[in-house]
Structures are given as structure tokens and as C-alpha cells.
Amino acid sequence: MICFRGIEQLKGMTKRAIGSVAGEFRGARLGDERLVKRAAVIVRRLEDAPAVGFPQALKTGDATEAFYRFLRNRRVRYGALVDSHAAETVSRISPGSTVRVVHDTTEVSFSGEPRSGLGRLRSGESVQGFLAHASLALSADRFPRPLGVVGMYCWARSKRPRSGRRIAGSELAKHADRESQRWPEQIKRVENLVAGRASVIHLMDREADAYPLLESLVQDRLRFVVRMARDRKVLSPTGDGQFDDEDLRNLSEELNEMPVIFEREVPLSRRSDSKIPGTRKVHPERTSRMARLSVRSGRIALRRPRYFQDELAPSITVNVVFVREVDVPKDEEPVMWVLATSEPVNSPAEVEAVLDHYRARWNIEEFFKALKTGCSLEDRQLESFETLTNALALFVPIAWRMLLMRALSRETPDAPAEQVLTATQMQVLRHEQPQKMPSSGATIRHALHAVAGMGGHLKSNGPPGWLTLARGMQMLTTLAQAWESAWAAMEGRRKLPRGSDQ
């Protein structure tokens, strides 16, 4: 991958943090130091060409066979690999700072013949795969900088869904789905990992809107921003800062009576129709437009749902930020966010801070795209859950590195290109992409678009995607190696004594 230089200008990031990602596995507990060294060798090859097939990336038959043996080795576990990267990620967090951690789950699907250990993904569809619940650490700056993954849990569903049978609330509470526990368990692991180094703000989307999770966040006095999905019952305010335990109303009623803090116009990007029915319902297709948003804030007391037992608090008090689009165009779904948070929301500046935290969660969506598209994770022809998740763990720091490259291009687009490219890579790009890579004064923005151009990206298609960036990086790496080999050969000929056989 790209070799970063000029590190002192990158706000405290160390050379080790943004050099080759092979060092991310130096602390992996695999029970054999030879396996740790093998992981580093493999990743150095994969990071140069993350989107191509394993044989092509690893270059030789022996290296490919050694790679497959590594994935099948019983001592190699995806958790140990990810934990090593997580430790490196924590080392990149500035002591005494605030760090955002985004939690989310993605489906990793595979086609073709059944593979050992994989399970169902979407109800009613014959899709096999597994789920990965990841926690991505970001700086709390205006332009969030990806620091790495601080936790990942993978699992496959072995049981078929209950066919159309509605589950009563009491039964749901009694037989809590193991999947729902991934949220509090991962949060606890992250808190333990980062303990004493930084203050963590946990960011979660609609799937995390569960009373037990919110209650645990409040009881443990953790910082969080969670997007709410349900119109819950809330206690009515009494006017003196307290709440009436007997008087209940709907959350939506309470939100509409909160004062408007400010209104703002924001551009909305185009969103394509999803193939997944559930996603299509929550995130419908839309055209790009300028939206006018009304922002309200206040404090509410959520009542415990009746079907939960007495071990949960009868109510919890949280701050909320309510964002709703006004003057919505005909046939368009309005933008609407309800954010439950631990953060103060008394002033416009405090509300803006909460919105900035939540907007930062889009980075985990880009991280998943980097894994699936930039690293072609779902195209891998491996035979089992164990080998696929081991491969995923190897790609995790590579995907993080790709995300960091793009973040730097947005945060410091006018910084010198020498900070992200070697001298040879710059020479190749000036030769292959002269219209995008100037001969002098090249910036990080130039570097990104030149690499994307090598991958076939056209400016008229909008910002470059992960696949074109990965293809461009692969081609640039190959040409740079050939360029250096050619120069080495020329230098060797110059040093040959007169009369020798050339």
C-alpha cells in the first residue's frame, strides 16, 4: 500500500501507525512466534493488492499454499488477530482525549456451494454468510480521523427463524436473543481496553434502541449517542425538573413540544434502493436535495417496557435531540432523527456537538465498504467460517488504512503528496496520470484522484469508490516495483567493468 511520509505533520500519528499495516499483528497471541511472523508476511502482500485473488496477490504457489495453511491452522483465531490490531489502535488514541467509538453490525454474504459453519442471513432468502459486529475508533475532531478497530465479534445463525409466529413481549424478555447481547458486551470490552487513556463516546444507530442497553449505559454513567427507533412511553414532566410516574405519554408527543433550538439547510446525497427489504423500509430511496431541518432538544424519562422484569430500573432519564425536515418535497420521505444521549443539549453549541458525534458514524459504513469492495471480502472462495473470519481479520487493518487515506485527503487535502506517496510512486503517477498529478506542488487531493484514475475512475462519476481506489493502488504498486527494478538494472549495467558480458 501507500507508504506515508512527513509524519510529524499528521497531528501526532506515529510512523508505525500509518506505515505498513503488517505491524498491527505484532502482538497477536497465536501460541507460536512463527505464525505471528507469517501473518506479517501475508499482510505485506495483501495490502499491495487487496482487491485481487489470493494467488495473484501472494504471487507464488508456495506463498499461496503457506497462506491457506495459515488460515486453516487451529492456533490462528480471528479474535487474536483483531485483538492485536485493537491494542495498536488504542496506542494511537491521544492520552486524556475524547474518542468516538462507532458500533455497528454488517452481514457478510457468500454465493455458491454451502460452506462449513455459515448460516442464514436474510429471512426468506437462500443467502449464506455470517455477521460481524465491529467497533471503530475515531478522533473527536471536526474531521473524524479513523484510528482503527477496537473490537469485533463474528457469528453465524444456525437456527431458522420462527415462521411467522409472533413472540409475546414477556417471552422475548425471558428468552433474550444472544445477538442482542453483543452491544453491551462489546461496549464493556471497549471501555476496559481504553480505560484510563481517553473518554469514550459510544455511537450507535437504530438497532441499538433497546431499553436494557440504554439502561446499562445510564447506570454505568457512560457517554453515548444512540438513534432511537421506537415511539416509547415517557413520563410527563411536572414543570420543576421532575417527572410524574403515573402520567404517561408517547415520546413523539413530548418531542413535538420541545423548543426549536435552530433551523439549518443541509445537502442530502442521493440514496439508491436497497435489495434488503428491511433496509429498504428504514432507508428508502431518495434523490439528492437541499433539506431544511428543524432541531429541538430536551430531557425525557423513558418508562421501562411492561414485559421486562424488575431487575431493570423502572425509568431512565436521558437527553434527546430531535431533527426533522420541514417543507418536504412531494413523494419524498422526510429526514428525521431522534437521538438519545448522555451529552448536554442546553445550547445550540452543545446540540451541534451531539449532531457532529452522530454524523461521524457514517465512517463505519465506509469501513464496511472498504472491507467488502476494496478488499473483495465477499468474493473470497474459502471453505469455512473459520478461514473466512481469519481472512477478515487480516483485511481489517488494510481496510482501516484505506479509510485513513481517504480521511486525510478530506482533512488535509492541500498537504504535500509526499506525505502519502513514495518518490517512485509519484514518478509513476506523473508519467501515467499527468493531467491529475502535476510535476510540482502535488497535494494529497491530487494523489487520491491520480490513484483512482489508475483504477479507471472518471471525474464525472463523483468521488472515487473503494473498488477503483483498490484497483488503482494495485496498478500503482506493480508499476512502481517495475520502475525500481528497471532503475536497479540500469545502475548495475553502469557498474559492470569494461569488456564483461552484458
Least confident of 22-31, 160-169, 345-354: 160-169
Q: Are strands 97-110 and 198-204 parallel, antiparallel or unpaired?
A: parallel
> CB of 35 within 8 A of CB of 70?
yes
Three-state secondary structure call for residue 370: helix
Of 156, 183, 153, nearest to 86 (Cα)?
153
Q: Where are the domains of the chain?
A: 413-492
What's the confidence (pLDDT) of residue 11?
36
DSSP state at residue 332 = -
- 30-70, pLDDT tens digit by residue? 999 999 999 999 999 998 888 889 999 998 999 999 999 99
What's the confidence (pLDDT) of residue 6?
30
Summarize the confidence of residues 250-275 as an average pLDDT: 81
Summarize the confidence of residues 128-157 as an average pLDDT: 94
What's the confidence (pLDDT) of residue 269?
65
What's the confidence (pLDDT) of residue 271?
57
Indicate the pLDDT class of residue 12, thresholds 50, 70 and 90.
Answer: very low
Q: Is the pLDDT of residue 502 over 70?
A: no
What's the confidence (pLDDT) of residue 175?
41
- 194-253, pLDDT tens digit by residue? 998 999 999 999 999 999 999 999 999 999 999 999 999 999 887 666 777 778 899 999
Of 426, 471, 393, nearest to 42 (Cα)?
393
Indicate the pLDDT class of residue 176, thresholds 50, 70 and 90.
Answer: very low
Least confident of 375-379, 390-394, 440-444, 495-499: 495-499
Indicate the pLDDT class of residue 164, thresholds 50, 70 and 90.
Answer: very low
Summarize the confidence of residues 318-330 as an average pLDDT: 91
Summarize the confidence of residues 311-340 as an average pLDDT: 90
Dihedral of alpha carbons 444, 89, 222, 230, sign: positive
Q: Is the pLDDT of residue 319 over 80?
A: yes
What's the confidence (pLDDT) of residue 16?
31
Q: How far apart are alpha carbons 216 and 219 in whole angstroms?
A: 5
Mean pLDDT over each residue of the chain, to the nearest integer: 84
Q: Is the pLDDT of residue 333 over 70?
A: yes
What's the confidence (pLDDT) of residue 270?
62
- According to CATH, the topology of domain 413-492 is Transferase Inhibitor Protein From Tn5; Chain A, domain2 (1.10.740)
